[in-house]
Amino acid sequence: MKTLLIKYTVSAWLLFFITACTLNEFPEDTASNLAVFGSKNGLELYSNSFYDMLPGVTNGVFAVDNNSDIVARTSVDTRFSPNALSPTTSSGWDWEDLRNVNFFIENCEKSTVPEKQHYLGLAHFFRAYFYFEKVKRFGDVPWIDKVIEVDDDATLYGPRTDRFEVMEHVLADLNYAIENISLTADASRTLITKNVARAYKTRICLYEASIRKYHTGYNKQATANDWYREVVNTANDITGFSLHQGTTAYRDLFIQKTPFQDETILCIALSAELKIYSSINRSTISPTYGDRPSLTRRFINTYLKLDGTPFTGYQETFATEVKNRDPRLKQTIRLGDYKRTENGVSVVAPPNLDQSYTGYQIIKGCYDERFPYDDENLNDNAHIIMRWAEVLLNKAEALAELDEMTNTAWAATIGALRARAGITGTTLTTMPTVADPYMTSFYNNKFTNPVLLEIFRERAVEMVLEGRRPDDLIRWRVAELFEEAPMNGIYVPALGDYDLNEDGKMDVCFYQGTKPASTASVFVNVSAGQNRTLTAGTSGEISYFPGNREWLDKKYLYPIPEADRVKNPALGQNPDW
């Protein structure tokens, strides 16, 4: 609760403190300045303003994967819609957060407060966080580590800094943060501790290593392993976390008001008392609000069977295909035995094809109670943005890329995640030696290493709807999947009625032309020209069309916004924009 109060009250104080400031104007030796940098309380209050950089909660990390290859959604994002992204529509070239951090660092370094190093560590962490997000989006960006003076034209109107040089600064800032942040434990899981900084370092270094290895046009392949090594070494330094256990542990993680301390590394705690909510139920389930995200059959096919072997039942109907699968499947989407409550009364709730385009209807992170969560932005379950499972996945991938994965390391990472889920078999303790053909094809035959492909499978399944998928496609340089991956749904052998949960009641009727007489709860017109059709006309998988999608390699980076280039022509433009 502490950080909630800080996050939503400190902004008013900062508004008074820096509201008149522009790019190069900050208050200097004023009474307010002394009050802030002359006391521990002042440093704490100011540094907590940096938390505003973390993901928002109304449409938070749960919505990021909507724009990926494994989620069907209402419309196509600007980045992937033909001719929608351009220098005039691009955004994100804002530097207020950096100015705030640099001003703090410059003044905190002069402070005589004994605890100042901790707060400097926080500032360096958030500067690293800021620049990582900017480099991901734009590539080369100006590296600025000072308060800019009014006559400093060389900085104000200078060129961008090479992205690889910037990332070396990011790594240095992360290392500084880890060395100087004194907070080692936080029961609320809402504050930046040493281990939070370490966990973020594994995420950032894995991204950078992959960019250097797979984006060969940069000619940085020889430096990739240094960054993979940082992932492994840093993951090994993280202590105090474990995988939350239990038959429903995976789902339970995401519907707690107070996060589980064993696995959660960082979250934003929401509060009904303070009226701070997210929209995850409404955005996911409402047929009239949000993206109506639903998982694709192409992705569902990657879930292993319960015994740890690959699934191959590609011509099975929904009621059959979901049986004896990785238990995380039923904790991620509605299966036959899923039930909800309406005003506290339990009701049978099979997949609703009015709410889900593909039939694979998401429940991860959503409350089971319908009212009022489906209709209003009132979710108050903790918003997880970093957890131990991701660190294990980051470490496993780095080990595989370094060709250092062993059966022991496999069992402690991928095997541990699958064991927690309830999967059985040799996959828990033994690395694969033969690549699954489905996984090879899934990534357009660009990867053949069986260990790496299984880590990719596990990463997608374990982290689905946690905001990592778009970055993964970018760093692995398989972003063509944003365009090519089919938005496909459940297999329909023929037109007619289907009982999705095998309770004797018809849940959906697929038809063409005139709506037939039926007792089904939902009717889906799959006639030609509808946004949902069947791949073989009157049978086959649901094929959903959200709109035209386009991927061009220039989209690996956003264009520099034209308005900012007009102000500073030295910024130049990203390739092919």
SS (H, E, C) 237-267: HCCCCCCCCCCCHHHHCCCCCCCCCCCEEEE
d(CA 293, CA 395): 29
Residue closest to 75 by CA, chosen among 548, 558, 550, 551: 548
d(CA 546, CA 391): 34
363-402 exposure pattern, b = at least 16 Cβ within 10 A, e = fewer: bbbbbbebeebbeebbbbbbbbbbbbbbbbbbbbbbbbbe
Which residues sit opposite 305 in a β-bridge? 325
475 neighbors 211 (Cβ within 8 angstroms):
yes
Low-confidence ranges of the chain (pLDDT < 70): 1-32
Output the DSSP codes for 316-369.
Answer: --HHHHTTTB-TTTTTTB--TT-EEEETTEEEE----TTT-SSSEEB-TT--SB
- Looking at residue 17, what is its pLDDT? 44
Question: Which strand (E) or helix (H) includes residue 70?
Answer: none
Query: What's 521's DSSP letter?
Result: S
Six token digits for residue 38: 């002359």
How many residues does the structure list for the chain?
A: 577
**Counting beta carbons within 10 angstroms of the beta carbon of residue 360, is it exposed (0 to 12), middle (13 to 18) or buried (19 or more)?**
buried
Taking the CA atoms of the chain, what radius of gyration do you get in angstroms? 25
- Looking at residue 562, what is its pLDDT? 97
Percent of the chain with pLDDT over 90: 90
Query: In what order do the strands lie in the sheet containing 294-295?
Result: 71-72, 294-295, 360-361
Residue closest to 488 by CA, chosen among 442, 548, 532: 532
Query: In what order do the strands lie in the sheet containing 522-525?
Result: 496-498, 508-511, 522-525
Strand 508-511 versus strand 522-525 pairing type: parallel
Residue closest to 479 by CA, chosen among 400, 550, 376: 550
Range list of H helices, 215-238: 224-237
> Tokens 């309770």 identify what position?
503
- What pLDDT, in 10s, does the model give residues 209-224? 999 999 999 999 999 9
- Looking at residue 42, what is its pLDDT? 96
- Looking at residue 9, what is its pLDDT? 42
Question: Which strand (E) or helix (H) includes residue 402?
Answer: none
d(CA 475, CA 469): 10
Residue 347 phi, psi (nearest 5): -135, 145
- One-letter amino acid of 295: L
> Tokens 């740890």 identify what position?
308
* Per-residue CA distances from 351 to 66, 245, 362, 533 (Å): 18, 27, 9, 18
- Looking at residue 32, what is its pLDDT? 65
Q: How many C-beta atoms surround the C-beta of residue 165 within 10 A?
A: 11
